[in-house]
Each structure stands twice: as C-alpha cells, then as structure tokens.
Amino acid sequence: MRVRTSPSAGLLAALAMTTAGLGAVSGCGNGEASEDGDAEARAQRARRVAAAWDGSEAATAWRAGFHPMGDVIRLPRGGLRSTADAQAFRDHRFVLEGKLPAASPKEGRVVWAKGGSLNRPLVGAEEAYKTLSRGRAGGQPHLTVTGAELGETSVATSRGPAVVPAWLFHLKGYDSPLKQAAVLPSELPRPPIRRADGVPGYPLDRLVEVSGDGRSVTVVALHGFCDDGPVVDVLETRGSVVLSAFVKSPEYTGNCTKQAKMQQVTVEPDRPVGDRVLLDAHTGRPVPYKPPHGPSPSWR
C-alpha cells in the first residue's frame, strides 16, 4: 500500500477549530510524538471496525443499496463556457424561464454496469431544480434554465458505475443539458460499531474519489499548521478497506495558532477496492462522499 499527499489551493484554507478539537488533530505545541502505543491502538481500532462490518447486516445492506460515490450532477458537454457561468454554478444562482414537468414516474431504475438493478423513488423536476438552485432567486451572474425532461446519466456508486434516471435541465446558450440524478439514494445502514473513544487519530473530512480501476482512494484529511502533515493508514480485509487518519509528529515546539488545514491524501490499497466497504476507523461508518457541487444525498 502506498500513500501520496497533495495540497491544493481550495483545500489549504484555514478552518477555525476549538482548542480541544485542534489538540486532537494537530498536537501543536505539545511535543507529543506518534509512538508505538498510539500506532497499536489505531491498528486495534481498525481491526475492530473491520471485524464488526465484515459479514454484518450493515455490510449486506450497503452492498444491496444505491449509494452515490461520485458527483450526481454532470455539466453540459464541454463544460461551462465562461468564468461567469462557472461562478453562477458554484453559487447556485439560476433563473427559471419556462415550465418544468409537473408529473413524473414515482420510481426509477438504477442499472449497474456489472449487473444488477434496483428501483428507487424518483425526485420530481421542481424539487430537483430547488436542490440545484438551493432556493436562491437569481442574481448576477446566473444561469438560465429554459426547461427540463427526464433522461439518464451515469453515476459512480459503492457498487461501481450505474446508469440512473436524471433530469436534463436545458440552459440558455448551451446545446447540451445539465444532468442531475433524479433517484433517491438508499438509506445509510446503521453502523455495527460505535464511534471511537480515546483512540488516537481523528475522522476523515470526506472522500474525494475512488479511481476507476479501484486501485487508489483519495480522501481529505485534517492536520495542524505546526505538524508534519496527515497520514492515512489502510487495513484491508476481504469485505472492507478501513482508513485510519492521524498526523505526523510535529517538530515545532513553540506556540501554535488554533487552526487546521485540509489536505488531500491518496492511498493505494494492495488490491482494488471493488465492492468492499470503504470505512473510517474513527467513526466506524462508511467514509462520506461530498462532491464539489454540494453534498451527495447519501450523506444528508
């Protein structure tokens, strides 16, 4: 298993932290090192999480459900045409000109590329538009929606790529639509193990992506301004991939500001992730996916 870290401009923004929260994340100014005892405690926790999930009802429910692990919105073919349009999209500024379909089927079918399908409740066009615009009333700059129709899109899921029903929103000035998945994800299963108590480390902020071949996983981890950066350990079993996040021992021994920053960390499991459950050792839950254009409905 290999690990890579990669800071980015968007991820290096400082976050306000409480004194207790920062101490747990960074260890700034306390000179504490990541000793063998901490490493063993983290390893034991990861093993407990894997043992609790492997073969559990929660794991069965997870594998049977529809859980998006990639963006549920696809931009028009070729992307947005200007900086202003991109800003409008990021700010959820839309104006509706025209009518949206008032009726739609109650259910839609999710079809996986590797086989299998599942019927899930369908979100109406008006509700989907409200999610897209987040209820904001236009402003400048904005994108103009002239209508919508029901179609299909592809979504990365915990069971691999799937084709799902989607609302195709037509934008003024674009030849192809903006697509938004129209089916509701399955309910998250109740985890078979509680959140860690007193175990070194901290929760991962979010999953960024699992590569198409399943051989690399990129997550966002927190660390302090005075430590040597985040580390993510990996424990692999037949049924799960457990990620344990912590920080490298700080060399800095002076005063440290009560802030933390986020950094992408890419790990490469020894085997492709496949349909194994990707778990956060600290929370005992599946690592939450949060796409750049808003939270996936799986993680509300």
pLDDT at 109: 97
Residue 221 has pLDDT above 70, yes or no: yes
**Residue in this structure with the two tokens 């901290």, named with its chain if needed:** 202
Which residue type does 170 have?
H
d(CA 15, CA 220): 13
- pLDDT-above-90 percentage for the chain: 58
Q: Three-state SS for 166?
A: strand
pLDDT digits (tens, 9 = 90+) for 233-291: 999 999 999 999 988 766 655 666 656 678 899 999 999 998 899 999 999 999 988 76
pLDDT band at residue 13, thresholds of 50, 70 and 90?
Answer: very low
Cα–Cα distances in Å, from 255 out to 17, 24, 35, 38? 15, 16, 22, 24
Q: What are the residue ranges spanned by the domains of the chain?
A: 2-64+189-299, 73-181
pLDDT at 223: 67
Residue 132 has pLDDT above 80, yes or no: yes
d(CA 99, CA 170): 11
d(CA 149, CA 88): 22
| Residue of 114, 66, 117 whose CA lies nearest to 214 | 114
Lowest mean pLDDT among 27-41, 125-139, 223-237: 27-41
Q: Return the top range by mean pLDDT from 94-108, 168-182, 211-225, 258-272.
A: 168-182
208 vs 295, residue with greater confidence:
208
d(CA 52, CA 73): 34
| Residue of 178, 96, 79 whose CA lies nearest to 142 | 96
pLDDT at 12: 35
Helices (H), 74-228: 83-90, 125-133
DSSP states along 131-160: HHHTT----SS-EEEEEEEEEEEEEEEBTE
pLDDT at 212: 83
Residue 162 near residue 176 (C-beta atoms within 8 A): no
Lowest mean pLDDT among 15-29, 102-116, 196-210: 15-29
Mean pLDDT of the chain: 83
- pLDDT-above-70 percentage for the chain: 78
